[in-house]
Amino acid sequence: MSAVFAQTDRELWLLTARDGEQVGGLITTCVAQASIVPELPRVLVGIARHHRTWELMTAAGAFALHLLAEAQLDWVWRFGLQSGRDLDKFFRLSWTLSPHGTPILAGAAGWLDCRIETAWDAGDRTVFLAEIVAEACLMPGRVLTMNRVLQLAPQDILQRLKVCRLQDAATEAAMIAQWRQTRSGA
């Protein structure tokens, strides 16, 4: 990782999406506010293409972003260390559908309901620009950040995080290399 990025502490977001009866979610730190116009709120999100949730959000044209408090630390393990292809990440969680059809998890510190406006292929991931169509800030205050999660994680979880990150990095490196080769015409 870049020494410059090592100086930052990004908030963790839990992204959920739904296509028909299928629901999914994942943990991401690649989220940025994309508008300063209060009447036209937008967000940029980068999601790796190999995730099941990418498939759901792309098919639906929508997703929800949830900020988490320390009380939802177990959601980071549930949505960040497992694939929705293997199990139901929503099992025994309380959630509803937003008026626009995206899964909203009860108990999140806050959430944004988003409609995709456009997307760009970036090799290993897609960068989505989305309109924020609804939001709620339910627990103002400190939200989970990457550094705080690493401080709170037990040793076995830290090891699983490391393995998952290495696996994802290998998958995404191949996708980036292929994308760059295609773009250069070589």
Contact 61, 55 (CB under 8 A): no
pLDDT tens digits, the chain, 186 residues: what are they? Answer: 578 888 888 889 999 999 999 999 999 989 999 999 999 999 999 999 989 999 999 999 999 999 999 989 999 999 988 777 878 898 999 999 998 899 999 999 999 999 999 999 998 899 999 999 999 998 877 889 988 988 998 999 889 888 888 888 888 888 888 888 888 775
Domains of the chain: 6-184 (2.30.110.10)
The predicted pLDDT at position 65 comes to 97
- Retrieve residue 82's tokens: 């497992």
At 7 the pLDDT is 84
Give rounded-to-5 percent helix, strand, coil for the chain: 30, 35, 35
Q: Residues 6 or more apart from 117 whose CB is under 8 A from it?
A: 42, 129, 130, 131
Which residue(s) pair with 28 in the sheet? 13
> What per-residue confidence (pLDDT) applies to 161?
84
Angle formed by the axes of helices 73-80 and 155-184, nearest 10°:
50
The confidence score (pLDDT) of residue 170 equals 86
Contact 177, 44 (CB under 8 A): no
